[in-house]
């Protein structure tokens, strides 16, 4: 079946996820942190407290197959990551365990495409205190109904002002840290992906690789 608008509001069973300081270090190196970011890339510097990058929430709270199955079926080659919203309720510790639940928050008809929004809520496994909330948007070409753009399902989307704003610059040469993240690994294409997405055959002289991170490896997606 195609995307199922009736699935909006579906919630997944709770899932437990744990991480350690080494995972925080690898994640920071994998996204380009360098010597200027000692708090994120070292755990034994004198006078520097080890911290986890806030965006690590996206890796810790990623959803799995049960969410894809709930929303329906579609050609994987037609999907792209449309947007990502992260709301931290407290700083992410360098070691811990969380319990995460996922909810299909909305489906939007874009005429020739559809947008699916998934909301993920994580709480501390020990205290039950809220840790972070993620809102992931998936843009899927060819899954719209060809009508005037609008909602396929209900859309409970609260709006509030951000509690804080910030920005940071990335190192000019993040490639200097690539050997740390266990790469390169050959990219594995899902069966039929090339025909669905009309991808050209790979050139043997120019192999395609993915730099895969241990705590955030893409599963079945390119």
For residue 171, the model assigns a pLDDT of 59
pLDDT of residue 159: 65
Q: Any alpha helices (H) in the chain, and if so which ranges?
A: 21-30, 38-41, 57-60, 65-71, 193-197
E runs forming strands in 76-202: 79-88, 96-109, 113-124, 130-141, 150-151, 185-186
Residue 180 falls in which region: left (phi positive, over 0), alpha (psi -120 to 50) or beta: alpha
Phi-psi category of 70—alpha, beta or left, where left has phi over 0 and alpha has psi -120 to 50? alpha
User: What pLDDT is recorded for position 129?
Assistant: 95
How far, in whole angstroms, is CA 106 from its chain's centroid? 17
Identify the pLDDT of residue 180.
41
Tell me whether strands 185-186 and 150-151 are parallel, antiparallel or unpaired: unpaired
Residue 41, φ and ψ in degrees, nearest 5:
-115, 5
Whose CA is closest to 118, among 101, 130, 102, 99? 102
Q: φ and ψ at 100, to 5 degrees? A: -115, 140
Which of 115, 107, 105 shows the shortest CA–CA distance to 78? 115
Residue-range domains of the chain with CATH: 5-153+178-210 (3.10.129.10)
Chunked into runs of 10 residues, the chain (222 residues) has average pLDDT values of 84 95 94 90 87 94 88 88 93 96 91 91 95 94 68 55 71 45 41 47 42 38 35
């Amino acid at each position: 079946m195609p995307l199922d608008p009736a699935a909006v509001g579906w919630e997944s069973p709770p899932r437990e996820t744990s991480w350690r300081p080494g995972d925080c270090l690898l994640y920071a190196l994998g996204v380009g942190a360098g010597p200027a970011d000692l708090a994120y890339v070292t755990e034994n510097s004198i006078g520097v407290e080890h911290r986890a990058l806030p965006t690590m929430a996206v890796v810790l709270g990623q959803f799995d197959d049960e969410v894809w199955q709930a929303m329906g079926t579609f050609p994987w080659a037609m999907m792209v990551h449309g947007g990502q919203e992260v709301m931290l309720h407290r700083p992410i510790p360098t070691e811990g365990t969380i319990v995460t639940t996922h909810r299909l928050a909305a489906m939007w008809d874009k005429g020739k495409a559809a947008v699916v929004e998934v909301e993920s809520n994580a709480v501390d496994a020990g205290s039950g205190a809220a840790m972070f909330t993620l809102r992931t948007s998936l843009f899927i070409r060819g899954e719209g109904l060809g009508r005037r753009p609008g909602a396929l399902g209900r859309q409970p989307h609260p709006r509030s002002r951000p509690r804080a704003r910030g920005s940071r610059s990335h190192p000019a040469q993040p490639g200097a840290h690539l050997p740390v993240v266990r790469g390169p690994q050959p990219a594995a294409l899902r069966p039929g992906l090339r025909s669905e997405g009309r991808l050209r055959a790979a050139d043997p002289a120019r192999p395609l690789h993915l730099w895969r991170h241990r705590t955030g490896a893409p599963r079945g997606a390119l």
